[in-house]
């Protein structure tokens, strides 16, 4: 992807433009942007405090507040800039998620995660495209492009809710692990389909050039899939060796931040997946680097810094996401949006209820054939009661919006594509997210034993107090 200036400068200029208020004029744009940034952070802080008090996912609360800002046009210059999301917010969020993800649980559940994030994404993509083509009347390539845009899941709200309510660690890892690799696979599918669409639009597929172009596309696709992980793992290994020689927590923290953005930019410059590079670098540093490179004092500092960066990034991201959707006009395209939502939900349900039973059947077969085997990563059956929760956890979010808004205006139906993306993100984020909040406390078989014991202890301690008050 060629740029007239470095991607970071593009992203920073987009961030400044998206935050600057026209009322300040050219000379006061920077001051206006800073004031607006501080105001948004204050609003996010108040919203997060209220959401925590109500035991409601703060990212969903921020989205609702953002919708109010968009509907009211209170901040008309506040826009969702895709370059900012792709080059500033996403590397931070993906690295933080990968750094904190338990590699032990990830390895134990790698088969289920790989099924959902790999073949599951491809199946769901094609299923989502079917109603868009036959019912909404979109051409096949456009329908597949829309399906690829809305294929990456964004379960931040769900994972936060699971953690807040003491739900199963294994369930959280499956949902979060799928999302991390699903993002990279979804962007890869988006890039491939967009390349085919642009080639068809320019006439590059006509005549005898088709074979050569197809071969090039296959090679580029393979590099997109494997290049990012290779870069991320190699960089993480080198950085771990470097960290062994450094005993300064500030420098070590700064190195992790540099790695998060550096591997993304390096992979992007080499035309491979920056998202997968960041994920693999975060996983490797979070496990191998934390054990053999970084000091314990620095590891604690890294945890604190990345928790803070993720909170700020999520706060701004979901506020602006809500404002962007709230200011959009989507009522005129309700029918295509409905078909898109149906395709997304049906595709999600089908992969969960087709692939997970197959995974469980394979796990049971292995258990019968080799009952005493202790191979790491051996599939373990997933409780059936988790399947509805994993289905509902397939929310869509900021990455889908960034991909849609990053499309060239020369593409056919680009406005319709963006409006449909707004609709899918809104319905899945609020509809499924709020639905999870309602049903989770009453759902059997998903609470950690420690959380249940804590609640039982609290209930036992509250009973005598209530009796004494009555007497």
Bridge partner list, 236: none
> What percentage of residues in the chain have a pLDDT greater than 90?
55
**Cα 97 to the chain's mean position, in Å?**
9
Question: Is residue 2 domain-resident?
Answer: no
Q: Which residue has the higher pLDDT, 13 or 48?
A: 48
Whether residue 130 contacts residue 334, with contact meaning beta carbons closer than 8 Å, is answered with no
Alpha carbon of 77 to those of 104, 421, 464: distances in Å?
A: 45, 21, 57
The enclosing H or E element of 236 equals helix 210-243
- How does pLDDT run across 161-179, given as a tens digit for each residue? 777 777 788 998 999 999 9
Contacts of 255 (CB under 8 A, 6+ apart): 239, 242, 243, 246
Whether residue 321 contacts residue 401, with contact meaning beta carbons closer than 8 Å, is answered with yes
Question: Is residue 424 domain-resident?
Answer: yes
Whether residue 67 contacts residue 327, with contact meaning beta carbons closer than 8 Å, is answered with no
Q: Which residue has the higher pLDDT, 465 or 386?
A: 386
Give the mean pLDDT of the chain.
85
- Interval 346-364 mean pLDDT: 95
Whether residue 275 contacts residue 183, with contact meaning beta carbons closer than 8 Å, is answered with yes
Question: Is residue 143 domain-resident?
Answer: yes
Q: How far apart are CA 16 and CA 30, in angstroms?
A: 7
Whether residue 182 contacts residue 273, with contact meaning beta carbons closer than 8 Å, is answered with no
Tell me the pLDDT band of 4, cut-offs 50, 70 and 90.
very low
Tell me the pLDDT band of 471, cut-offs 50, 70 and 90.
very low
Q: How far apart are the first and last CA of the chain?
A: 74
Q: How far apart are CA 35 and CA 21, in angstroms?
A: 10
Residue 320 sits in a domain whose CATH number is 1.20.1530.20
Closest CA to 281 of 253, 240, 312, 336: 240
Contacts of 121 (CB under 8 A, 6+ apart): 151, 182, 185, 186, 189, 351
Question: Is residue 469 domain-resident?
Answer: no
Bridge partner list, 167: 447
Contacts of 65 (CB under 8 A, 6+ apart): 43, 47, 319, 322
Q: How far apart are CA 323 and CA 395, in angstroms?
A: 18
pLDDT at 208 over 70: no
Question: Is residue 263 domain-resident?
Answer: yes
Closest CA to 229 of 186, 184, 187: 184
- How does pLDDT run across 363-417, given as a tens digit for each residue? 998 888 877 666 777 888 999 999 999 999 999 988 999 999 999 888 889 999 9
Q: Which of 43-47, 310-314, 370-374 has the lowest mean pLDDT?
A: 370-374
Tell me the pLDDT band of 33, cut-offs 50, 70 and 90.
confident
Token representation of residue 148: 């690829």
- Collapsed DSSP state (helix, strand, coil) of residue 167: strand
> What pLDDT is attached to residue 410?
84
Question: Is residue 1 domain-resident?
Answer: no
Provide the number of structural domains found in the chain.
Answer: 1
> What percentage of residues in the chain have a pLDDT greater than 70?
86
Structural domain boundaries enclosing 239: 7-447
Token representation of residue 322: 């809500």
Single pTM value for the model = 0.86
Token representation of residue 358: 């197959």
Rounded to 5 degrees, what are φ and ψ at 181? -80, -25
Rounded to 5 degrees, what are φ and ψ at 370? -135, 75
Q: How far apart are CA 201 and CA 216, in angstroms?
A: 18
Tell me the pLDDT band of 79, cut-offs 50, 70 and 90.
confident
- Sign for the pseudo-dihedral over CA of 316, 318, 323, 324: positive
Q: How far apart are CA 404 and CA 406, in angstroms?
A: 5
**Widest distance between CA atoms in the chain:** 92
Put residue 413 in one of left, alpha, beta given phi > 0 → left and psi -120 to 50 → alpha. left
pLDDT at 257 over 90: yes
Tell me the pLDDT band of 2, cut-offs 50, 70 and 90.
very low
Contacts of 300 (CB under 8 A, 6+ apart): none
pLDDT at 64 over 90: yes
């Amino acid at each position: 992807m060629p740029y007239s200036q470095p991607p970071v400068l593009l992203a920073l200029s987009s961030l400044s433009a998206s935050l600057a208020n026209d009322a300040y004029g050219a000379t006061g744009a920077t001051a206006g942007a800073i004031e607006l940034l501080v105001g948004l952070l204050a609003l996010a802080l108040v919203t997060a405090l209220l959401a925590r008090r109500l035991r409601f996912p703060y990212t969903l609360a921020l989205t609702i507040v953002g919708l109010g800002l968009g509907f009211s046009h209170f901040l008309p210059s506040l826009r969702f800039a895709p370059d900012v999301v792709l080059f500033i917010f996403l590397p931070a969020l993906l690295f933080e998620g990968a750094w904190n993800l338990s590699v032990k649980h990830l390895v134990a559940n790698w088969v289920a995660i790989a099924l959902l994030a790999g073949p599951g994404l491809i199946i769901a993509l094609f299923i989502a495209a079917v109603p868009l083509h036959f019912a909404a009347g979109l051409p096949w390539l456009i329908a597949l492009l829309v399906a690829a845009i809305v294929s990456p899941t964004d379960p931040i709200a769900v994972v936060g809710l699971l953690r807040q309510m003491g739900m199963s660690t294994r369930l959280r890892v499956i949902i979060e692990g799928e999302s991390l690799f699903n993002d990279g696979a979804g962007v890869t599918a988006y890039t491939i389909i967009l390349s085919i669409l642009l080639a068809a639009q320019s006439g590059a597929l006509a005549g005898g050039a088709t074979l050569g172009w197809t071969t090039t596309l296959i090679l580029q696709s393979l590099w997109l899939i494997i290049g990012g992980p290779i870069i991320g793992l190699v960089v993480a290994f080198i950085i771990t060796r470097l960290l062994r020689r450094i005993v300064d927590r500030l420098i070590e923290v700064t190195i992790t931040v540099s790695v998060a953005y550096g591997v993304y930019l390096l992979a992007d410059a080499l035309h491979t997946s920056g998202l997968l590079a960041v994920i693999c670098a975060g996983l490797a540093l979070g496990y191998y680097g934390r054990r053999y490179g970084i000091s314990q004092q620095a590891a604690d500092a890294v945890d604190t810094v990345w928790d803070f960066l993720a909170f700020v990034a999520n706060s701004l991201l979901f506020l602006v996401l809500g404002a962007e959707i709230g200011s959009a006009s989507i009522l005129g395209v309700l029918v295509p949006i409905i078909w898109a939502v149906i395709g997304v939900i049906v595709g999600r349900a089908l992969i969960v209820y087709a692939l997970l039973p197959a995974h469980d059947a394979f796990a049971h077969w292995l258990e019968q054939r080799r009952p005493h085997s202790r191979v790491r990563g051996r599939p373990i059956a997933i409780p059936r009661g988790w399947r509805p929760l994993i289905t509902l956890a397939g929310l869509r979010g900021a990455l889908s919006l960034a991909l849609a808004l990053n499309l060239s205006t020369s593409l056919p139906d680009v406005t319709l594509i963006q409006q449909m993306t707004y609709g899918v993100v809104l319905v899945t984020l609020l509809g499924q997210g709020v639905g999870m909040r309602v049903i989770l406390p009453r759902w059997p078989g998903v609470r950690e034993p420690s959380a249940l014991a804590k609640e039982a202890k609290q209930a036992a301690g509250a009973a005598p107090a209530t009796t004494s008050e009555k007497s």
